[in-house]
Amino acid sequence: MALTANANRPEYIVQDTVLRQPVEASRHVFQGAIVGRHPATGYIRPFQVCDEAWGIAYEESDNSAGLSGDVSVRVQQHGDFVLPLPGVTVQ
């Protein structure tokens, strides 16, 4: 499920690698969101099925009114992250 607001995720940095990547047109990437790289265009967007998992958005980036590449986002690719896993029960 895509984020609709910024999320603060606890992180335990082992190796902090943050890369600046161009955002796909008409996309809003929230801080803390898992982002993917579109397999055909190569632009970053909130993660979708078939995307190449790219990392965690280090900051918010709003390209909802722009063309692909007009805005970029910093993506953290290495580290240990705490992520929620909704809908799981212990049996």
Mean pLDDT across the stretch 83-88?
Answer: 78
Give the contacts of 55 (CB within 8 A, at least 6 positions apart): 19, 34, 35, 75, 76, 77, 78
Provide the pLDDT for residue 88. 80
Provide the pLDDT for residue 1. 61
Q: pLDDT digit string (tens) for 61-78?
A: 999 999 999 999 999 888
Q: Is 87 left (phi over 0), alpha (psi -120 to 50) or beta?
A: left
As a three-state string, the secondary structure of the chain is CCCCCCCCCCEECCCCCEEEEEECCCEEECCCCEEEECCCCCCEEECCCCCEEEEEECCCEEECCCCCCCCEEEEECCCEECCCCCCCCCC
Provide the pLDDT for residue 12. 61
Q: pLDDT digit string (tens) for 1-51?
A: 677 888 777 766 555 577 899 999 999 999 999 999 999 999 999 999 999
